[in-house]
Every structure is written in C-alpha cells, then in structure tokens.
Homo-oligomer: A and B are copies of this chain.
C-alpha cells in the first residue's frame, strides 16, 4: 500500500541564496564539487551502504509489558549491572592497552637493538648501506604483516578508528565496526605498525578497541564465537549499546593518555547529543578503572608495584610545576603558535584529502594497499637513516641522559647524534625528548629538517591500510616546530625553556589537525599532569581551530565526508529555515495495514530497489491514518517465527513471541532472502499491533527543517513520520534526508550520500 503525496522539490535549487557577483565562481566550484562527490559516491558505494541505528526504543506492547512487570528491585539490578559492565569495560580496555604497550616496547626494543648493533659495527668499517637495508627490511616486514592482516582480513580496522566511532555514536551503523574480529586485527595491526617504525601512534586505535570491548561485553555474548552467556540480555538494543560504546571510547582515551576526565569529555564532545548525568558518571567510572588497570599492570611489569607514574600509553613526562611557568606577555606568542598550528593542520588535512581521493581511485585492491604500506615503511626508514647520516648535530652526552637507543655514529666519543633521538626512536619517546631535553639539545637546523620530513611522512602514512593513529605524529610534528619556535625567539631569561614551546606547539599542531578543543585541553592537561599550562593550551587549541576551520574541516570530518556517511552535525544549517518537512521527507511512503497479508510484506521487504527499514502502520478503516511504526528487523523476526494469525488459531499451543526472540536475533538480523515463506503462507495475515511502536514521533508537514532536525538529533531517531492535519502519513524523514543539507561557503548545498 502506498500513501502518496504531492511533493514539490523541483523548485528547490532555484532558492539557494547565491550572491550574484560570485555567480561564475560559485557555479564552477559547485560543478567541481558535485563531480567529486558523485565520483566518490560511485567509487565507494559498493562497500559502504550504511545503515542507521535506532537510539529511540521501540515501545511496543511486548516492551511495555516487560517494563510494567519489572519491580523497583529489578530496575535497581539493571542499574547495578550497568555499573558492573562499565567496570568490566574499563578493566578489559586497560588490559588491552597494557598488552599493546608491552608488545610494542618489546618488538621495537629488539628492532632498535639489532639495528644499533649493526650501525655501530659498520660505522667503523664502512658500508652503512647494509645497515640501511637491514633497517628498511625489518620495518617493511613488520608493516607487511600488519597490513596483510588489515587489508585481507578486516579492512575496517585500518586507520585510527576514531571517525568510525564518531559515526557509530552519531547513529550510523558502519558494518563490522564493533566486532571481535575487528578488535583482534586492530590490536595486532597497531603493534606491527608502531613497531614497524611508521609515523603513527598507538593511541587512536585504543579508542576503537575500547568501543569494541564495550559493544561485546555489554551484550553478554559473542556472535563471532557463537557463545551466549545469557546475561545482560536487557541491553541488546541500539540505545543501551550506544551508551556502553561511549563508555568504551572514553575508557580507550583514558588508557591512551591517562586522562579519565578527558575521556569522558571526548565521548561527549565527539559523540553523544543527549547529556544524561547518570550515564556520564558511569562513563567516568569506566575511564577511571581503565587508566587504573593499565597503571596497575604496567607497574607490576616494570617491577615497581604501587607506582603511579604510568597512567597512560603516552606519558608526557613531568613538567616542573611552577606557577610562574609562563608570563602574560607570552600569551600573544601562544596565539601566534595556535595560528601556525591551524595553518599547518589545514595543510596536512588538505594534502591528506587529496591523497585519500587518489587512494580511493587507484589503491583499492588489498595487495596494492599492502605494497603501499611496505613502501611507506621502507621510505620512512630510508629518510630517517639519511637524515641521521647527513646530520652533523652532535651533542655531548649529559650525565642524566636517559635515551635508550642513542647513536654515536660519526660523532666524537662522549657525544651522540641529536637527529637520532627523534628519528631512531618510537614516536612517544621522541615527543618526550622534545619536551624535556635540556635547552641546547637540538640545533635549529635539525628541528627544521625533522619537522618538514616528518610532516610529509605522517601525512602520507595516515590512511594507509594499517591500523594506526594520528595523535602522536601530530604531537611530534608540533613539538618539533614548537621547540624550534622557542629556540628562535630572542633569548630572554624567562623564555629560555624550549620544552614549554614544544608542548604548546604540539597542542597547536594536534588541534589544527583534529580540531577538538575542550576534550583535547583536558587530555593535554591530564597527560602533562600539570594544570599550569591549561590556559595557554586552551588558547592555542581555540586559535588553531578557528584558523584551521577557515580553510578546511578537521581530519576526521574529512574522512567521514569522503565516505559519504550521513553524519548529523549538532544543528541544522543556519540558513535552512525556508525548508520544511514536506520538502525534505521521502515520499511516497510504503505503509502496512495493522493486519497485513504475509505475501505483501515479503514482497516489499524483498524489493531491493527501495530497501526501506521502517514502515508506518496505518488504520485500514481510515486510509493512511497512522497508528504505529514497524521496523524491517521486527518484521523479519515475525516472519521467521511465522507469527501468522491463521497459524495461531490452528495451533493453540504455540508459544507466544517474546521480546527475547527479538533480542536473540539482535543485531545480525537475517536477510529476507534467507527466510522461506511457502505459497500457502503468503495468503496468511499478520497482526502487527503487538509488535509495532504504537506511539512514533510525528511532525506536521509545515515543520521547518531546523525544528525537524532538533527533534531527530535530540532523540536519536531513525525514522520520523510526517503527517497531515488528519494524521495521515504523507512522508518519512530519515537520517539521509537531513544529513544531505550542508552549509558550504556559498550557502546551503546538497550532498550526495551513500544509501541509508
């Protein structure tokens, strides 16, 4: 049955408010953009057909009956289970972080030891090219293993995973993003890529790992392992799962940076829209447990049980806690550094954007991806080696030098090669050296060369088919140019510490690339363990964001957009008040009767051209009048269990369908093709009243887009029914309908999006 409506969208394009003097430029840019988007859309459409998640519970009769049956004590037990799950999430995330940390340290330690031995051997006798080859081969083989796992087994595990988690929390279901297999590949991949010497960090993937842990633990079963523990069944729906996934992401941040408050803020800033106090406290709890677990096990591993100095994967080291650490007069300098960070960040993002388009076009086959990753690994080793080789920045070995892999190379005895402290090291250690090595440890030339080369290496690396994060490379680039900035300043006594400028530069660069502010401030403050630098860090991050946003979006947003994900931002575009629900909605809508023929349902569900996921249910006597909303997944479960009116009558003993049956099928509902319905059964009827959501949210046709958007976003809806004055269904608004409007530089624009 089809509820038709006269929908007039043809005149829409004419209403764009175009400044007339920019007409030509505008059309040129528009055409170009449309071409790019259409092209991207078609080129990746085959892999990315995104589903939406439903963060609004379907309050059907079954659900309400269960809720009403439950006693106050029952709700208390549920509440306690939520806390227990959050504790488990934190514990497991911390444990994973611990494993990653130890594995990377061990592997990298062995690698650097071997290479160092080799270099020392050949420095004397000549023939350092053998060392170079050894280094490059070691790097490439490690990266190859990681890249093969990712590219062939689970491509979704590539990258940092933060864009994917952002999408998940926003309500977009990225296929396979929270599966156990993804977690295993991610963890294994990140160990290989970091140990393989790529310009990557192990912090971003922790966030993804935490989210996967959360999605797994909270469901009390593993579909991959076919193991159901029969616990936490109540939480088997999108709303509850999302809450736990935000806790997992927070726990990941917390373990990565030792920043529990920063983790909570990350989850909130990047994900959740509805702020709920109780949920926030649970997230906070998970974060605390996570950093605590990591610290506990690392302290045991380091033979210093009870020591609290390693709350995170990255440790910025101790900054002297001096309340006059900086001066009011330095604030303009910080703002300048923020602006530089914003500019460099925008450049990074733009380069990476072009590179990603290139990759989507030409490097989409797994074996090509593995080869590219190996190439990058080899080039990284070669560039690093040449930089070290041609550098003549020798520094005397101080008494308190604690570098693990110092290279003497061609320096005199009692001296070491300064370039090697940044290149011949894991990125985390390099960051720490830049922050804390005493003034004079680096020549300006060394820092400049390092910044430039590492900038391009990191930019090339992000987006490879390896699992790796961009936080640490950004910090490292920023720390290098920040320290350079500090050195080049006229040396007034109070400004003497270049480590401070390295910290500010690191914040500026990271802010310029990822464009977070509040959460990043807290993360940086927690990672330095010092509140004194809070204010400059805030200023720098805000400046970097403002400057960067002028040119191009943040790195994560770019990647989300490149995958044409229907991502909902915080608010509808400002100039969209002239659009109403009538123009935005999808129409005509396929509706079902409250008592519907099985054949009709099967036919509609099997129709691949529409592929709808939600169907308004209407009253048969007053055509088109809405009385509920039913989801594809619910219909599939009903068909699978053959809940037909005729069968119920004939077989009186048949078990009544329960909420448990829906929960057992969640979240991997079988496709309609796998359900066999005989010709006789096609003539049966299905009564949807008990299973549909009888009170879906509706809006009148005249509602403006911002109002629709607000309702949709605040409640995390998947379908919003548009009705006329008689409560008849005239359209259906989905995520895709709202996400395609976008405020470009020339007013409101419409995007091409992957199908939802």
Q: Which residues of A contact B (CB under 8 A)?
A: 17, 59, 64, 67-68, 70-72, 75, 260-261, 264, 268-269, 272-278, 280-281, 284-285, 288, 291-292, 296, 299, 305-309, 311, 318, 321, 323-329, 517-518, 521-522, 525-526, 528-532, 534-535, 538-539, 542, 570-571, 574-575, 577-578, 619, 622, 625, 627, 694-695, 697-700, 702-704, 707, 710-711, 714-715, 723, 725-727, 743, 747
Contacts and interface: CB of A to CB of B under 8 A. Distances in A.
Given A526-B534, A727-B727, 6 more contacts: A68-B578, A75-B574, A274-B275, A281-B542, A625-B726, A714-B714
A703 B726 CA distance: 19
A526 B531 contact: yes
A725 B571 contact: no
A323 B280 contact: no
A504 to B, nearest CB: 15
A704 B59 contact: yes
A281 B710 CA distance: 19
B521 A261 contact: yes
Contact of A714 (B291, B292, B323, B715): B715
Contacts of A324: 307-309
Contact of A531 (B268, B284, B531): B531
5 contacts: A17-B72, A59-B704, A277-B570, A321-B530, A529-B530
A517 to B, nearest CB: 6
Nearest to A531: B529
A71 B530 contact: no
Contact of A72 (B305, B321, B574, B710): B574
Contacts of A292: 535
Nearest to A329: B306
Contacts of A318: 321, 323
Contacts of A280: 269, 518
A268 B261 contact: no
A620 to B, nearest CB: 13
Given A275-B268, A526-B534, A538-B260, A702 B697 contact: no
Contact of A715 (B269, B711, B747): B711
Given A694-B700, A725-B627, A305 B328 contact: yes
In the A-B complex, list the 5 residue pairs whose CB atoms are closest, starting with the nearest.
A67-B577, A321-B321, A75-B574, A275-B275, A695-B703
Nearest to A66: B577
A329 B321 CA distance: 26
A269 B291 CA distance: 23
A654 to B, nearest CB: 27
Given A714-B714, A715-B714, A328 B306 contact: yes
